[in-house]
């Protein structure tokens, strides 16, 4: 009987252990420290906790601390003779003026022979972030006996943008349906809302835009505002403010007005009333995000007004409540005969200084659209009188959806670190120094993108899939976004490698060889994806509509600027988009110092070449190969490197729990097949122009060009079909 019971218990334990590793816990696993010496040290150092918690955020922080310690130490700290104490305290802002509203200090102190660890901040949010940071130190098995950490976020706005529709479909979402079950809100509050908030708070994300920028007007109806308020109530104790995307024509759509003209008094009044209604329900509401006059969305230009007129009308409504307007600069029109890469700058640069103080302009990292590689957007540093947010995409619309292992932090970091060569901003309007004190000094004449922005927005890759992001490694992109927005650069360069290390240690293992091996995979992965998709500066050559897989031959989209041929311009003479003075001259939108690196096709780095220049198939690259040979080399190297990742992953098998190992393994198999298709399809197609053979001995394409051209994917996720 006893044996049956025991084996029953064992099976129960086993099944719960397996179930526990389905990826749901993200990087907050809090499993018992597996290093016995360290565990002993930690237990010794943390015998009592002194944490007076009164406010909702402090109560959250305390709960999180106790849960974390219980898991990591296998016991709740209890008094012993040594009584080494962990003190968590709010201190008055006068004592800690430098920390600002979100910074924290973690320090080890020795008092009368006893060691004390102090986590302190001037605000309860600071304490919350300090607690999560402390737990991260334990999870990543760092020494805690000489802590002297001061951490202040680089950027005040660290926001996730959900492109979630109210019917729960997610535009460009590849991890299931929207987390927000609008139909059962506001009464039913799914546990996932809390777990989502925990995950965000743990990495410093302090805002969330709940709905798609292609916004439904119904989000502003009383019913949906009540549902939004319910979510805001769940997120508030985690320091997260809620924002909404709004449709510019809402006064007509749901307000019964005849116009949405931003200069019309009735329209202005409608927005004021609506905004007041929102703040009655959500006193700490963040503000509005607006996509206007872009890809068919209505906007002020429908009435002959400017983007500034539109944004300022909303800004006025939000101002009394301390809310902000986030106005997107992602605008382009196929009716304008101007290189798409130039259009946002042309539109917005003249508006610099014309926006109200509480308007932030949100600019994508590059001038086209979240491609595997783009130069930084020319608006960074070019609008000194306008606070900017950098928008990056975590959901991998152009990077293999949630099927491909692509760690995006190096892409984000490439943008953040790009030198705009614009004058360096000193302090912004609120006196907040845009450059964090914790960042190492840079050459005095450099103004990286990170110094020109007030915040970062990440287009979320989260859905209701059990593991949140579809691919376990896509969780790293959510994680890295938060960590990079908190600290846009670090003493450890590249900072993305340090973030990867943290994530791996919390998500998989602290075992050094496992950490090294996975970090190497992650750090190479973005360049590998560039190689098998869009090497040497190619861009926007993906399949139409769903954007999955290759489609360089496409030439009949509804708009010219949605056609890949518009971007690669391959012909028998060569390939690439001439954006120099002999072409569209998009180059002129950059500061002279930034231009020089790309100006000349002979000195332009290979990785940017076809973005800026149309060059001959026999152009000599920096490697000494011809362009055609280099293109072949890159596509083949990309596929070979995916196979290298597969081999590394196979080597890690005994170190990773079977469920997550297998999940990743299967996705890698998809990635490999996709990479082969990208390579074969692109090379066969470009070969019709280059008229040169594939390299000798190269793996021959397994299908004809026609086969790839006819390969259609129906019902790919993420579109509204």
Cis peptide before 494 (omega within 30 of 0): yes
Catalytic residue list contains 295: yes
Residue in the shown chain whose Cβ atom is closest to ligand GCW: 369
> Which residue out of 161, 347, 369, 527 is catalytically annotated?
369
- Residue given tokens 């064992």 in the structure block: 10
Look up 316 and say whether it is catalytic: no
Residue placing its CB nearer to ligand GCW in the complex, 65 or 363: 363
Distance CA 606, CA 627 (A): 9
Given 397, 413, 502, 578, the catalytic residue: 397
Among 142, 214, 333, 597, binds ligand GCW (CB under 6 A): 214
Run of H or E including 49 = strand 48-50
**Residues with Cβ within 8 Å of residue 322, at least 6 apart in sequence:** 358
- Can you read off the two tokens belonging to residue 537? 């500066």
Cβ pair 469, 461 in contact under 8 A:
yes
- Site for ligand GCW, residues 367 to 386, rule: CB under 6 A: 369-370
Q: Buried b / exposed e across 661-673, counting CB within 10 Å, b at 16+?
A: bebbbebbeebbe
Query: Is there a contact between 193 and 229 (Cβ–Cβ < 8 Å)?
Result: no
Restricting to residues 147-186, which ones interact with ligand GCW according to CB under 6 A? 163, 171-172
Helix (H) or strand (E) holding 667: helix 658-690
Contact pick of 64, 124, 339, 397 for ligand GCW (by CB under 6 A): 397
Total of residues contacting ligand GCW (CB under 6 A): 11
Read off the tokens for 391.
């928008």
Among the listed residues 188, 205, 68, the one whose alpha carbon sits nearest the alpha carbon of residue 125: 205
Sign of the torsion angle spanned by Cα atoms 345, 348, 351, 355: negative
Binder to ligand GCW among 174, 330, 468, 628 (CB under 6 A)?
330
Q: Are 413 and 495 in contact (CB under 8 A)?
A: yes
Dihedral sign from CA coordinates of 196, 198, 199, 203: positive
In 283-408, which ranges are continuous DSSP H helix?
307-318, 340-348
**172 vs 274, which CB is nearer to ligand GCW?**
172
Q: Can you point out the beta strands (E) in 219-321?
A: 241-245, 287-290
Q: How far apart are CA 246 and CA 257, in angstroms?
A: 16
CB of 395 to ligand GCW, least distance (A): 10
H or E stretch at 235: helix 222-235
CA distances from 213 to 257, 496, 611 (A): 22, 28, 28
Q: What whole-number distance in Å separates Cα of residue 77 and Cα of residue 85?
A: 9
CB 166 within 8 A of CB 224: yes
Does 213 engage in binding with ligand GCW (CB under 6 A)? yes
The β-bridge partners of 324 are 287
Minimum CB distance to ligand GCW smaller for 370 or for 532: 370
Q: Does 424 bind ligand GCW (CB under 6 A)?
A: no
Q: Considering the complex, state which of residue 406 and residue 504 has its C-beta at the smaller distance from ligand GCW.
A: 406
Binding map of ligand GCW across residues 52-91, x = CB under 6 A, - = no contact: ----------------------------------------
Nearer to ligand GCW, 124 or 397 (CB): 397
- State the pairing for strand pair 114-121/104-111: antiparallel
655 burial (CB, 10 Å; 0-12 / 13-18 / 19+) is: middle
Q: Smallest distance from the beta carbon of 499 to ligand GCW, in angstroms?
A: 25
The DSSP element (H or E) to which 482 belongs, if any, is helix 474-486
- Judge whether 105 and 150 are in contact, CB under 8 Å: yes
Q: Least distance (Å) from ligand GCW to the CB of residue 119?
A: 39
Q: Does 334 bind ligand GCW (CB under 6 A)?
A: no
Instruction: Name the pairing type of β-strands 615-616 and 114-121.
Output: unpaired
Kindly tell me which of 80 and 167 has the beta carbon lying closer to ligand GCW: 167
Q: Which is nearer to ligand GCW, 72 or 314 (CB)?
A: 314
> How many other CB atoms sit within 10 Å of the CB of residue 325?
27
C-alpha to C-alpha distance for 424 and 411, rounded to whole angstroms: 23
Helix (H) or strand (E) holding 483: helix 474-486
Nearer to ligand GCW, 125 or 172 (CB): 172
With H, G, I as helix, E, B as strand and everything else as coil, classify residue 12. helix
Radius of gyration of the chain (CA): 26
Dist. CA 380–CA 392, nearest whole Å? 14
Of the pair 160, 668, the CB lying nearest ligand GCW is at 160
Place of tokens 């190269």: 698
- Least spacing, CB of residue 459 vs ligand GCW, in Å: 7
- Give residues 272-291 in contact with ligand GCW (rule: CB under 6 A): 291
Which of 223, 276, 295, 428 does the annotation list as catalytic? 295
Closer residue to ligand GCW (CB): 369 or 487: 369
Please identify, using beta-carbon distances, which residue of 44 and 559 lies nearer to ligand GCW.
Answer: 559
Residue 129 to residue 131: CA distance in whole angstroms: 5
Nearer to ligand GCW, 25 or 172 (CB): 172
Pairwise CA distance, residues 595 & 376, whole Å: 12
Smallest distance from ligand GCW to CB 213, Å: 5
**Cα–Cα distance between 262 and 146 in angstroms, integer?**
57
Q: How far is the CB of 299 from ligand GCW (least distance, A)?
A: 12
Active site residues: 295, 369, 397
Residues that bind ligand GCW (CB under 6 A): 163, 171-172, 213-214, 291, 295, 330, 369-370, 397
């Amino acid at each position: 009987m006893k044996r049956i019971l025991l084996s029953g218990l064992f099976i129960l334990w086993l099944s719960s252990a397996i179930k526990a590793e389905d990826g749901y816990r993200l990087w907050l696993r809090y499993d018992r420290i597996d290093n016995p010496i360290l565990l002993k040290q930690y237990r010794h150092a943390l015998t009592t906790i002194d944490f007076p918690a009164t406010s909702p955020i402090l109560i959250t922080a305390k709960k999180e601390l106790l849960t974390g310690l219980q898991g990591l130490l296998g016991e709740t700290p209890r008094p012993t003779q040594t009584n080494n104490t962990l003190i968590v305290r709010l201190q008055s802002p006068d004592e800690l003026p430098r920390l600002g509203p979100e910074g924290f200090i973690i320090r080890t102190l020795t008092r009368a022979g006893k060691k004390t660890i102090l986590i302190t901040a001037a605000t309860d949010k600071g304490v919350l972030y300090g607690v999560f940071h402390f737990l991260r130190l334990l999870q990543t098995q760092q020494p805690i006996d000489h802590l002297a950490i001061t951490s202040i976020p680089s950027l005040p706005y660290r926001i996730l943008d959900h492109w979630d529709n109210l019917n729960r479909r997610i535009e460009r979402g590849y991890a299931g349906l929207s987390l927000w079950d609008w139909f059962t809100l506001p009464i039913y509050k799914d546990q996932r809302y809390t777990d989502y908030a925990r995950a965000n708070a743990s990495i410093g994300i302090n805002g969330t835009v709940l709905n798609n920028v292609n916004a439904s007007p119904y989000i502003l109806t009383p019913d949906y505002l009540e549902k939004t308020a319910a979510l805001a109530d769940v997120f508030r104790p985690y320091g997260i403010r809620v924002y909404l995307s709004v449709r510019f024509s809402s006064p007509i759509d749901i307000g019964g007005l005849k116009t949405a003209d931003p200069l019309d008094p009735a329209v202005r009044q409608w927005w004021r009333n609506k905004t007041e209604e929102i703040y009655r329900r959500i006193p700490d509401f963040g503000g509005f995000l607006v996509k206007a006059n872009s890809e068919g969305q209505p906007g002020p230009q429908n009435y002959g007004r400017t983007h500034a007129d539109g944004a300022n009308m909303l800004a006025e409504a939000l101002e009394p409540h301390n809310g902000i307007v986030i106005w997107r600069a992602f605008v382009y029109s196929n009716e304008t005969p101007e290189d798409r890469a130039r259009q946002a700058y042309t539109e917005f640069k003249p508006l610099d200084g014309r926006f109200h103080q509480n308007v932030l302009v949100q600019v994508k990292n590059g001038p086209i659209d979240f491609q595997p590689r783009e130069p930084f957007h020319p608006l960074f540093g070019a609008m000194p009188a306008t606070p900017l947010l950098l928008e990056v995409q975590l959901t991998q619309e152009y990077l293999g959806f949630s099927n491909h292992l692509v760690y995006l932090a190096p892409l984000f970091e490439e943008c953040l670190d790009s030198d705009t060569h614009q004058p360096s901003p000193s302090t912004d309007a609120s006196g907040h120094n845009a450059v964090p004190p914790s960042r190492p000094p840079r050459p005095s004449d450099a103004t990286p993108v990170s110094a020109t922005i007030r915040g970062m927005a990440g287009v979320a890759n989260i859905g209701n899939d059990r593991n949140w992001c579809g691919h376990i490694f896509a969780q790293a992109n959510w994680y890295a976004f938060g960590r990079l927005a908190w600290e846009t650069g670090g003493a450890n360069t590249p900072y993305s490698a340090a973030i990867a290390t943290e994530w791996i240690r919390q998500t998989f293992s602290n075992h050094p060889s496992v950490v090294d091996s996975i970090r190497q995979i992650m750090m190479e992965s973005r360049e590998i994806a560039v190689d098998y998709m869009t090497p040497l500066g190619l861009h926007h050559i993906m399949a139409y509509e769903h954007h999955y897989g290759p489609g360089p031959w496409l030439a009949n989209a509804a708009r010219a600027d949605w056609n890949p041929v518009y971007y690669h311009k391959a012909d028998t003479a060569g390939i690439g988009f001439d954006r120099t003075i002999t072409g569209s001259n998009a180059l002129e939108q950059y500061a002279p110092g930034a231009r020089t690196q790309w100006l000349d096709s002979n000195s332009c780095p290979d990785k940017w070449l076809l973005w800026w220049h149309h060059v001959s198939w026999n152009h000599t690259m920096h490697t000494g190969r011809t362009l055609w040979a280099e293109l072949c080399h890159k596509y083949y190297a990309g596929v070979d490197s995916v196979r290298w990742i597969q081999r590394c992953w196979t080597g890690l098998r005994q170190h990773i729990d079977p469920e997550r190992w297998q999940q990743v393994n299967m996705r890698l198999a998809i990635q490999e097949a996709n990479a082969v298709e990208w390579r074969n399809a692109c090379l066969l197609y470009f070969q019709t122009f280059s008229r040169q053979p594939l390299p000798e001995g190269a793996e021959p394409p397994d299908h004809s060009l026609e086969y790839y051209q006819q390969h259609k994917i129906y019902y790919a996720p993420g579109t509204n079909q």
